[in-house]
Structure 1
Amino acid sequence: MEPEVVYDLIDYHLRECIKREVKMRVCKNCGRYFALTGRTNTEYCSRPFDEKGRTCREVGAIALWTKRKSRDALFQDYRREYKNRFARMKAGKLEPEELYAWDERAREKKAECEAGRLSPEDYAAWLRES
């Protein structure tokens, strides 16, 4: 395609976006502009981001969740123990029902700890001993 044709296409699309008042935003994951369609609080584009075919929207949401949870010491303790138990379940040393029952109790204990009825040290000890 000739450069003039490409410039004409870009110019046409840009003018159409302005005429239709299409809002643009910078993707918080890849830093490229994208058009806001649908939800106006979208922070990530839907372009493919990695070789697995995941989009910025998928990768960005996971990264944000990980960043927020990395500051939560209670969640880190819970997650570490959950991963150990999940590995035991996958190895056949723990029944899925046992894991799910433990998970429910661990979440209840975490809620007690967040409410101030249980100290973080006691919660961590309970996780190790349960």
Structure 2
Amino acid sequence: MNTLFSIVESPTHPNFSSLYHELGLEVITLNSQRKAISQLKKNQPDYIVAEFFYGFNTYYQAVNISNLDVLLNSLVKYSPDTKVIVLVAKDQRQYVDKLNEIVPLHSVLTLPVTPDQLKPLLT
């Protein structure tokens, strides 16, 4: 059975639980990047679905692009074969491709995302 980490950090994250169930995925829902990194040390998922938030006015912007940088760097060490699917708001789409320098992303989907858009990426 394939495992998926669903990292839900905001109310805009779509609920794909029906799709995940339909595909027979074991889903671990996490509400922060910190918890996802901790879980990576115990369980290496086949997929991660997470939202991208660009670090517009943050102190760490010089080092990190977004909320996903540290998680992606952890994947290199703990789970390099995990496929990462990023959900992003249209106004932040231009910043996502920089993440490919850390880990090649499996896909980037612009919100709103439908189950029909996500399904082929998980099969």
TM superposition score normalised by structure 2? 0.21
Greater length-normalized contact order (CA 8 Å, ≥ 6 residues apart): 2
> Which one has a larger percent strand, Structure 1 or Structure 2?
2
Larger Rg: 1
> Which one has a larger percent helix, Structure 1 or Structure 2?
1
